[in-house]
Amino acid sequence: QQQQQQQQQHVVHYHQIKGLDFQDSDDSDDNKHHHLAPRKPSITTNNNSQQQRQLLESINHTSQEVENLLQLEKINKLVTEVERMLGGVEERAERSRRVGRSLKSLWPKMVLLMGLYMVALGLCGVLLWTVWD
């Protein structure tokens, strides 16, 4: 019977080590006075209800953490989407800056071509004017 009692204590102690109940079973008054007597059922049910309460608290805590993680995941998705959109805007701005730079470098050539075109038109006009007379 003593061996069976020790096995029960080991089981209780194992559950307490597992994190369900942090009170040490060996230090309770019940164990000191009634070392060979079986545990009272009221204490066992009380212990079980305490363990259930702690389990429920840990489950609630875990579910809150999961909710927080899901919210963080949503926020991360939004942030990456915004970054992608901003990246697209920056890419377009860079493209327009490149086009602007190329236009700036083309500008003198365009002016030169327009000037040559005007000179050619003027010469043709003068030629036609002299031929017409």
pLDDT in tens, 90-112: 888 888 888 888 877 888 888 99
CA separation for the pair 31, 36 (Å, rounded): 8
Q: What CA–CA distances, in Å, run from 74 to 45, 68, 85?
A: 43, 10, 17
More confident residue, 106 or 133: 106
CA separation for the pair 83, 79 (Å, rounded): 6
The tens digit of pLDDT for each residue in 28-82 reads 444 444 445 555 555 566 778 888 888 888 888 888 888 989 999 999 999 999 8
CB 1 within 8 A of CB 37: no
Locate the domains of the chain by residue range. 40-132
The per-residue pLDDT for 124 is 93
CB atoms within 10 A of CB 31: 16
The per-residue pLDDT for 79 is 92
CB 63 within 8 A of CB 56: no
Residue 4, both tokens: 């069976």
Q: Burial code of 96-120, b = ≥16 C-beta within 10 A, e = fewer?
A: eeeeeeeeeeeeeeeeeeeeeeeee
CB atoms within 10 A of CB 20: 17
CA separation for the pair 73, 128 (Å, rounded): 78
Decide: helix, strand or coil at residue 49: helix
The per-residue pLDDT for 91 is 86
More confident residue, 92 or 2: 92
Mean per-residue pLDDT, 6-18: 48
